[in-house]
Amino acid sequence: DAGVIQSPRHEVTEMGQEVTLRCKPISGHDYLFWYRQTMMRGLELLIYFNNNVPIDDSGMPEDRFSAKMPNASFSTLKIQPSEPRDSAVYFCASRPSTGNTEAFFGQGTRLTVV
Amino acid sequence: AQSVTQLGSHVSVSEGALVLLRCNYSSSVPPYLFWYVQYPNQGLQLLLKYTSAATLVKGINGFEAEFKKSETSFHLTKPSAHMSDAAEYFCAVSESSGNTPLVFGKGTRLSVIA
């Protein structure tokens, strides 16, 4: 398996624009997580899904953030409108429901909002 | 709720010296504990994990960690640092049910001096 795949790797956008980050989890993994990494706050959990259903979105900072998982092999994190303080690295991770308990991370998307 | 505290945001050691990265956790239920490593511009990679078997856990690249329930600690060690160990290290905790997300510490940046 190619691992968790995120796109794009880098995104630079202007304030007010819509940004969509994409994630393909490892096949067969039932859990999908979105994390945000900043210098100030470290790794924060934004939202996670189990079997494509959002379980906990309490980490989503504002209504400007939304996430979807239309099927088992694809998830998006959308920011609309984007603001400079949204600049961070966004990670997607997946995990199976049985067996190994660790999460497998993608390479991340570095978002810069100017 | 679960939490992780990593003591020291930056640790610097000489090449060949002992590496000790500290992690203390808080959990109301039996925990699973993890150490991840992040190299520049990369995602997180699992170093090792404790899942209620042996309290001394060996991981990749010569790292090991010991789960000490009485001290609520899971410190990471390596007998002899190598230049390639320079990276960011994250300790994480989840519930032993395996059904909760990983909660991460703020990370410790390890520098290795030649």
Between CA B89 and CA B26 the distance in angstroms is 18
Nearest C-alpha neighbor of A67 from the set A76, A80, A56, A59: A76
Tell whether B31 is within 8 A of chain A (Cβ): no
Q: How far apart are the first and last CA of chain A?
A: 36
Supply B104's token pair.
Answer: 């991460």
Tell whether A102 is within 8 A of chain B (Cβ): yes
Nearest CA in chain A to B5: A42
pLDDT at residue A92 greater than cutoff 90: yes
Between CA A34 and CA A65 the distance in angstroms is 11
Summarize the confidence of residues A81-91 as an average pLDDT: 97
Contact B90 A43 (CB under 8 A): yes
Mutate to test the interface with B, among A23, A38, A56, A102 (most CBs of B within 10 A): A102
Nearest C-alpha neighbor of B103 from the set A46, A61, A87: A46
**B37 CA to chain A: closest CA distance, Å?**
11
Residues A108 and A98 sit within 8 Å (Cβ to Cβ): no
Share of chain A above pLDDT 70, in %: 97
Summarize the confidence of residues A35-51 as an average pLDDT: 94
Look over chain B and give the mean of its residue pLDDT values, rounded to a whole number. Answer: 94
pLDDT at residue B45 greater than cutoff 90: yes
